[in-house]
């Protein structure tokens, strides 16, 4: 049960939110821009208004450059046909690099993790970007992820080790186990990054040294699931 004070606090907060939602804009164009900008993750209406006003202060060329970069990104970006990393061609620069160890594939959730691991400078293998992790709460099942293409890569025979580098969350663990089961009939070593990354942490937020060490000190997945 809520006490009177708590109810009052909720009432005040609601009023503040309503006030913000009903904020009057002097121009529909400005309001539209704020609506669009605030639809971005992590951008509230206050920040959106600040960004829109910033655009207005700069010359038109600045906004044109901004808009065309976003449009070009959305329209022209390609995904590597091997690892599903973002690239400008059919194959990303990592997959196309013959100096990399193509027999070691690091499985990550998203492109952000490829960038984070690349920044450590500790990994010379290649990647496989799943495009998310299994999360029934968000309606994401194995079929929504690039798991079949990972199995296909392993089935082709060149891959000797699969390094699972997913977030150390319940969803990450579920995805790890699903992949482990899918690959169990193949002659491939499956390892998991060391838990230098604390439980519940997301890979992209781990610092470079910790993440680098986690890749180097990876352990066999088989050992990690033994109770
Ligand atoms: Zn690639």
Q: 140-150 pLDDT, tens per residue?
A: 999 999 999 99
pLDDT computed for residue 6 by the predictor? 74
CA of 84 to the centre of ligand 1 (A): 6
Burial of 140 (0-12, 13-18, 19+ CB in 10 A): middle
- Average pLDDT of every residue of the chain: 87
State yes or no: pLDDT of 189 exceeds 50.
yes
Q: 85-127 pLDDT, tens per residue?
A: 999 989 999 999 999 999 999 999 999 999 999 998 989 999 9
CA of 81 to the centre of ligand 1 (A): 7
State yes or no: pLDDT of 20 exceeds 60.
no
CA of 129 to the centre of ligand 1 (A): 9
CA of 221 to the centre of ligand 1 (A): 24
pLDDT computed for residue 82 by the predictor? 96
pLDDT computed for residue 204 by the predictor? 62
CA of 101 to the centre of ligand 1 (A): 13
pLDDT computed for residue 14 by the predictor? 67
Average pLDDT over residues 154-161: 95
pLDDT computed for residue 160 by the predictor? 96
Higher pLDDT, 108 or 204: 108
Q: Count CB-CB contacts under 10 A for residue 94.
A: 19
CA of 93 to the centre of ligand 1 (A): 7
CA of 91 to the centre of ligand 1 (A): 5
State yes or no: pLDDT of 55 exceeds 90.
yes
> What pTM does this model have?
0.74
CA of 127 to the centre of ligand 1 (A): 7
């Amino acid at each position: 049960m809520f006490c009177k004070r708590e109810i009052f606090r909720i009432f005040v907060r609601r009023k503040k939110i309503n006030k913000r939602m009903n904020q009057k804009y002097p121009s529909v164009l400005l309001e539209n821009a704020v609506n669009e900008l605030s639809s971005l993750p992590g951008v509230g209406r206050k920040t959106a208004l600040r960004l829109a006003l910033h655009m207005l202060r700069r010359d038109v060329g600045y906004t044109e450059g901004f808009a065309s970069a976003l449009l070009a990104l959305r329209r022209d970006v390609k995904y590597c046909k091997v690892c599903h990393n973002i690239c400008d061609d059919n194959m990303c620069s990592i997959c196309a690099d013959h100096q990399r160890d193509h027999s070691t594939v690091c499985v990550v959730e998203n492109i952000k993790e490829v960038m984070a691991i690349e920044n450590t400078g500790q990994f010379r293998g290649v990647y496989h970007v799943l495009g998310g992790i299994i999360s029934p709460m968000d309606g994401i099942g194995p079929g929504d992820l690039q798991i079949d293409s990972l199995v296909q890569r392993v089935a082709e025979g060149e891959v000797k080790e699969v390094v699972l580098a997913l977030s150390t969350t319940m969803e990450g663990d579920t995805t790890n186990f699903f992949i482990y089961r899918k690959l169990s009939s193949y002659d491939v070593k499956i390892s998991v990054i060391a838990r230098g990354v604390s439980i519940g942490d997301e890979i992209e937020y781990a610092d470079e040294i910790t993440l680098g060490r986690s890749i180097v000190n990876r352990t066999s997945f088989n050992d990690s699931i033994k109770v």
